[in-house]
Amino acid sequence: MDYVISILPALLSGVQMTLAVFAITLLGAIPLGMIVAVGLLYRGKNPLAVAGKGLLDGYIWLFRGTPLLLQLIFVFYGLPLVHIVFDRFSAVIFTFILNYAAYFAEIYRGGFGAIEEGQFEAASVLNLTRWQTLRYVVIPQVLKVVLPSMGNEVINLVKDSSLVYVIGLGDLLRAGEVATARDVTLVPLVLVALLYLIMTLVLTLLQRRVEKAFSYYK
């Protein structure tokens, strides 16, 4: 027990990094994913719209089609070659937000597809603008539809945050590995697992609460 207490401060400091990456990524990726998804909804035929849509499709393909670990390495070690330099934490946040926004955009896109055309038509005959239709009618319904899938991704994000070790940041998993290597025992990694389980349990409960909050209509 004394040993557990002795390594806990280092692990909890790792938890701080994990939670910081988690929270800032969500704050950036949830709205960015929605912006991308709304952009993909646009069916304009003018060259600018077609090019914009191609760009968004390309972005999603790139970030869903390559490992997050690789993206992190490219951003931190590769971009400086073209004079774009991030500090470690900014590189993590930049990469995580772009990566998760790509996944969220695809989830939202599925959500938009689940909204019946009649809802858009009803809004249109009521003379709502496109933005008003999205803001008051469609997006609230999309958010309800995508909650279960978003919950999965959010839990993945907690675990993905352990990838920050690759560019030398200390998160929970790294703190555990350091203690394990130093003290030659698996106890720190068991504690790490427990801390991840606690975090994902809290998120699962939170997800249920949010789903319940959205259950006022069907």
The binding site for another protein (CB under 8 A) comprises 116, 118-119, 121-129, 132, 136-137, 140-141, 144, 216-218
Nearer to another protein, 2 or 116 (CB): 116
DSSP state of 126: T
DSSP state of 186: S
Q: Tell me the C-alpha distance between 79 and 91, whole Å.
A: 10
What is the smallest separation between the CB atom of 50 and another protein, expressed in angstroms? 22
Q: Tell me the C-alpha distance between 30 and 87, whole Å.
A: 23
What is the smallest separation between the CB atom of 111 and another protein, expressed in angstroms? 13
What is the smallest separation between the CB atom of 218 and another protein, expressed in angstroms? 4
Residue by residue, DSSP assigns 6-41 as HHHHHHHHHHHHHHHHHHHHHHHHHHHHHHHHHHHH
What is the smallest separation between the CB atom of 125 and another protein, expressed in angstroms? 4
Nearer to another protein, 63 or 108 (CB): 108
Nearer to another protein, 85 or 122 (CB): 122
Nearer to another protein, 46 or 216 (CB): 216
DSSP state of 77: I
Nearer to another protein, 141 or 156 (CB): 141
Q: Tell me the C-alpha distance between 30 and 144, whole Å.
A: 14
Question: How distant is the alpha carbon of residue 94 from its chain centre?
Answer: 11
What is the smallest separation between the CB atom of 121 and another protein, expressed in angstroms? 6
Nearer to another protein, 128 or 155 (CB): 128
> How many Cα atoms occupy the beta-carbon half-sphere of 134 within 13 Å?
13
Nearer to another protein, 43 or 83 (CB): 43
**What is the number of other CB atoms lying within 10 angstroms of the CB of residue 174?**
20
Q: What values do phi and psi take at 44, rounded to 5?
A: -65, 150
What is the smallest separation between the CB atom of 115 and another protein, expressed in angstroms? 10
What is the smallest separation between the CB atom of 136 and another protein, expressed in angstroms? 6
Q: Tell me the C-alpha distance between 201 and 203, whole Å.
A: 5
Q: Tell me the C-alpha distance between 110 and 39, whole Å.
A: 14
